[in-house]
Amino acid sequence: MADVQLRGVKKDYPGGFRAIHGIDMHIGDGEFIVIVGPSGCGKSTLMRMVAGLERVTEGDILIGERVVNEVEPADRNIAMVFQNYALYPHMTVFDNMAYGLRNRRTPKAEIEKRVAAAAEILELQGLLDRRPRQLSGGQRQRVAMGRAIVREPSVFLFDEPLSNLDAKLRVQMRLEIRKLHQALGVTSIYVTHDQVEAMTLADRLVVMNAGIAEQIGTPMQVYRQPATTYVAGFIGSPAMNFIAARLGPDGADIELPAGGRLPMSNGALASQAGREVTLGIRPEHLTVSGAGDGVVSLNVELIEQLGADLLVHGHFGGDRTDITLRLAGATPVSAGDVLPLGVAPESLHLFDRENGRRLETAAPSDVPM
């Protein structure tokens, strides 16, 4: 086991494209870190650098106090689960798992012991003589994890391991990965573009965008106090509503474009008075208030019934700002209605209009970490 440190890690590809713009972070021993972001944000590149499959252009990567920039992947004591599983098709399940151990000249009895143990954890006992093509997607996924487990590495790397599975299996395997981590306690780095995986698996998550770590924090920190509009829009489903607004003259309330004011919960931003801001409100934090006392009146355009919940899409104001809100499934509402909406002051998120950064004080600061 080991911790992992990234110090000013940058990656340039030939041709001058900078994939990673300098990332600093410390991953504690036994921590489960999820790197989440859209495709092309550099999350896989970052992990492949930790694995040693990509060269580091600048900065240092340390695994357990040792700089590994120039260390071969085989000598970093890591194991990786690939998106397409990367099982050796011409070998049996047993040989797939034993391959790494044989290359390290592990005694035969030890190999058999470790493979048997991994097979038991992953419920692969009956499948050891099969070849990968005779297995289902979920079983292949397990073999790929088994191959990582038997090595007893100090760091696990997961490169979108669930994205080739169907939705139901994905939920199941997600739980199993979490259980496995609790049982083994190995430092893990997990790359995904799926925010549900990110929220449920992570001890801490790294939200990446265009080669920059926009925010590093626990799932609840990221949900409650998104550092930028990008993070706010990426984490949470349906995505946060953004409204172009302006801070009032004393910085204590928010002027909406359609008219109307929203008071802020704690403290004023006196220094920012009159500033153009982006106001963020999560769909689940909007409530339908009594007729007449809503802050805005929403013209309902479309209803999406999800069973337990109901998504209402509509717009308000002269510039027809789009708003989505989530209501309990049984709420009687239909297209064409006008809903008065309210929101608790502590559920407001304020961002700088220009650089998209969060303006503090708009949300409670006593978020449990």
Partner 1 sequence: MKKRIVFNHRVLPYALLAPQILITIVFFIWPASQALYQALLIQDAFGLSTQFVWFENFSELIDDEFYLNSFQVTVVFSAATAFLAMSAALLLAVMADRIIKGATGYKTLLIWPYAVAPAVAGVLWWFLFNPSIGVAAYILRVFGYDWNHTLDGGDAMILIIVAAAWKQISYNFLFFLAGLQAIPKSLIEAAAIDGASPRKRFWTIVFPLLSPTTFFLLVVNVVYAFFDTFGIVHATTSGGPAKATEIMVYKVFNDGFVALDLGGSAAQSVILMLIVITLTVVQFRYIERRVEY
Residues at the contact surface with partner 1, assessed by CB under 8 A: 51-53, 72-74, 78-80, 82-84, 86, 88-90, 99-100, 103-104, 131-133, 147, 151
The nearest distance, CB 241 to partner 1, in angstroms, is: 40
Q: Using DSSP, state whether 182 is helix, strand or coil.
A: helix
Which CB sits closer to partner 1, 161 or 280? 161
Which CB sits closer to partner 1, 101 or 277? 101
Residue 21 carries which DSSP code?
E
Beta strand ranges found along the chain (DSSP E): 4-12, 18-27, 32-36, 58-63, 66-67, 78-81, 155-159, 187-192, 204-209, 212-217, 241-247, 253-255, 261-263, 276-281, 286-288, 296-305, 309-316, 321-328, 338-343, 349-352
The nearest distance, CB 101 to partner 1, in angstroms, is: 9
Which CB sits closer to partner 1, 141 or 228? 141
Which CB sits closer to partner 1, 14 or 336? 14
The nearest distance, CB 82 to partner 1, in angstroms, is: 5
Residue 166 carries which DSSP code?
-
The nearest distance, CB 92 to partner 1, in angstroms, is: 12
**How far is C-alpha 195 from the chain's CA centre?**
5
Residues 164, 83 contacting (CB under 8 angstroms): yes
- Which residues have a Cβ under 8 Å from the Cβ of 237 and sit 6 or more positions away? 195, 196
The nearest distance, CB 164 to partner 1, in angstroms, is: 12
Which CB sits closer to partner 1, 51 or 202? 51
Which CB sits closer to partner 1, 81 or 298? 81
Tallying the residues shown for the chain, one arrives at 369
Which structure tokens are listed for 186?
């190995």
Which CB sits closer to partner 1, 152 or 253? 152
- Which residues have a Cβ under 8 Å from the Cβ of 120 and sit 6 or more positions away? none
The nearest distance, CB 41 to partner 1, in angstroms, is: 20
The nearest distance, CB 100 to partner 1, in angstroms, is: 4
CA distances for 176 relative to 46, 118, 158, 318, 359, angstroms = 25, 13, 13, 50, 38
Which CB sits closer to partner 1, 151 or 358? 151
Rg for the chain (alpha carbons), in Å?
24
The nearest distance, CB 103 to partner 1, in angstroms, is: 4
The two beta strands, 212-217 and 241-247, are unpaired
